[in-house]
Structure 1
Amino acid sequence: MEFVQLSLFLGFNGLFFVPISIIKMFENRYFVLFAMHTCWRYTRYPFLTLNYLMGILASTASYLEIPNQEYARTVTFKVYPRILLYDTAEHRIFILAIDFYSLIIRQSFFTALFLIELIVFVVLIRLNMKKALSGIRSSVSSKTLKMHKTFMTTLNIQVAVPIVFICIPSFASIAIPLINADNQGTNNLIYITLSTHGALSTLVMVYLQKSYRETVLQIVGCNRDVAERNVRIVIPVTS
């Protein structure tokens, strides 16, 4: 049981820290591109520290609220007897919480905060990109404009992935239990969708970023041209 609780604690940390790491990625992109010489270079540290502290507090609170399992199982099986179908001697159901309202409040707050911060940084990046190009659009080359278009497309896709695979399932996991708490299949689908975010976002990054894509193809041996371009031949000179 202690191993299960430790696994849950690590799972809670992952649940709250994955969105924070995504925000950190977009914040760093905004900082490097547009805010290195502004007051944000000082403000960003309290901002990021506050995000991490809230993540630690939320995950710790969720862990500490795990109830006594004998009592929790008795109460839960009495209210939802159909769940007994999934409870076996080999795979005993672990009750995360009896009163879900505090958990729902935390999850709602963090999901909304994550979505707001994500949108803010994306809007800041887009506005600054538009401002940077507005005065020189007539003088830039077609290659530069193409790179700008590619960057914006990449940004849109990288924003869409966490919204679709984190925010929507998270809000759904909050709303569905309030409507029908006994829908185990839907809950399973929600958490499967959430768990695919890591692999999918990695694949999207590899696909969209040329340098990553070429390196991965080189590692798996599917892009020998890149390897050949990186080879430097030194011919010794004999006297």
Structure 2
Amino acid sequence: MTLSYVHTPKFVSTSLHIMTCLEVPVHIFGIYIILWKTPESMKSVKWSMFNLHIWSMSLDLTVSLFTSPFVLFPAIAGFPLGLLKEFGVPAAAQAFLVVSIFAGVGVSILAIFENRFYVLFAGNTVWRFIRIPVLFVNYALCFLFFIPPYLTIPEQRVALEEVYRKLPSDLPPSITNGPVFVLATDATYALISIFLITCFIIGEIAMCIFFIWLNTKCLAKRIHLSRTTLKMQRKFLNALHVQMYTPLIILIVPLVYIAYSVYFNVYDQASNNLCLIMISFHGLASTTVMVLIHKSYREACIDIFCIKTQYKTNPIPESRRNSFVTYVPRSKIRDDVIVVSHQITY
């Protein structure tokens, strides 16, 4: 079997370490932007965005730096190349950590949309008493759902023989001589566990989005919200949708390929390696989109990097120079909440 450099563990290790060097400064900058540059207008969503950023950063660094897995799909096997291996952390524990953080990213996306629903519509309902326990249960499930596959890890000698029967017989020594760990010889438990947690989280996200849409529509009809208010609200929610869906798509693409590879027993080591690199790229993309999509963050970046824009100003007519004008700073306008009867609903 003739393999290129892209097929090798060295390619995975080098690529993921380069990704780490790119990710760390960007993630630190993202933390700074969220904590110190979030304006008053986005105060209610600040900590939810910070929570998502931390989970996304954790997934990136776990894949690219701490575990750096070299996977052998369609076999549920591989070996780690990262920092945790140097500290003697078992491969099984590293696999458990990666899939748990994957689920944590999903729940943190759910928390963003739940926060929008709570702030806009449910602040004075019974939901304010149960929202924290519900989110706690979701985060607990992140570290519980993969226990069945973890507890059924097979005896490694027999499992390795079965794995090598699935893979091409002429694999290079760089792969066969590696400390290959087999998580499962039958992917049923792993796939069912991942499928159930995925459906559960996506279902909750879809419910939050639906209730936000339904309540916004009903509220607009009932109290005749102005077009400006609705436009501001939709603009903010659309920005959140773009921020959430862009990294989510980046994660879904490799996951779909992995499911395809396992189900149809397709082995392509180059594709396996590229999937891991794409997964480690998701947090970098998430931070970049967050900074670009929200106007306040974008303007903060322009100020930080000293990009000046010249604006032409029109002179004020003489007849208006002495008139009294009430000026409301843009930072004081809450564009992330619905304004009803001149009162802000928090």
The normalised TM-score by structure 1 is 0.77
Question: Which residue of structure 2 lines up, in the alignment, with residue 147 of structure 1?
Answer: 232
Question: Which residue of structure 2 lines up, in the alignment, with residue 206 of structure 1?
Answer: 291
Q: Does 1:170 align with 2:255?
A: yes
Residue 83 of structure 1 deviates from its aligned partner by 7.4
Q: Which moved more, 1:68-77 or 1:107-116?
A: 68-77
Q: Does 1:33 align with 2:120?
A: yes
Q: Which runs of 5 or more structure 1 residues have no equivalent in the other structure?
A: 226-239
Judged with a 3 Å threshold, the aligned counterparts in structure 2 of structure 1 residues 195 and 62 are, in CA distance, closer, same or farther, namely farther
Q: Which moved more, 1:101-110 or 1:56-65?
A: 56-65
Which consecutive segments of 4 or more residues in structure 1 shift more than 4 A? none
The percent identity for this pair of structures is 33
Question: Which residue of structure 1 lines up, in the alignment, with residue 300 of structure 2?
Answer: 215
The normalised TM-score by structure 2 is 0.56
Judged with a 3 Å threshold, the aligned counterparts in structure 2 of structure 1 residues 82 and 162 are, in CA distance, closer, same or farther, namely farther
Residue 117 of structure 1 deviates from its aligned partner by 1.3
Which structure has greater strand proportion?
2
Tell whether the 8 Å contact from 2:247 to 2:283 is kept in structure 1 after alignment. Answer: no
Q: Does 1:116 align with 2:220?
A: no
Alpha-carbon distance between aligned partners in 1 of 2:260 and 2:195, rounded to the nearest angstrom: 10
What SS class does the counterpart of residue 57 from structure 1 fall into? coil
What SS class does the counterpart of residue 96 from structure 1 fall into? strand
Judged with a 3 Å threshold, the aligned counterparts in structure 2 of structure 1 residues 82 and 62 are, in CA distance, closer, same or farther, namely same
Judged with a 3 Å threshold, the aligned counterparts in structure 2 of structure 1 residues 109 and 61 are, in CA distance, closer, same or farther, namely same
Q: Does 1:42 align with 2:129?
A: yes
Tell whether the 8 Å contact from 1:108 to 1:174 is kept in structure 2 after alignment. Answer: no
What SS class does the counterpart of residue 134 from structure 2 fall into? helix
Residue 19 of structure 1 deviates from its aligned partner by 0.9
Judged with a 3 Å threshold, the aligned counterparts in structure 2 of structure 1 residues 224 and 9 are, in CA distance, closer, same or farther, namely farther
RMSD: 2.9
Tell whether the 8 Å contact from 1:9 to 1:59 is kept in structure 2 after alignment. Answer: yes
Q: Which runs of 5 or more structure 2 residues have no equivalent in the other structure?
A: 1-84, 310-346
Residue 114 of structure 1 deviates from its aligned partner by 2.0
Answer 1 or 2: higher relative contact order, Cα 8 Å, separation at least 6: 2
Judged with a 3 Å threshold, the aligned counterparts in structure 2 of structure 1 residues 189 and 129 are, in CA distance, closer, same or farther, namely farther
Alpha-carbon distance between aligned partners in 2 of 1:128 and 1:165, rounded to the nearest angstrom: 30
Question: Which residue of structure 1 lines up, in the alignment, with residue 175 of structure 2?
Answer: 87
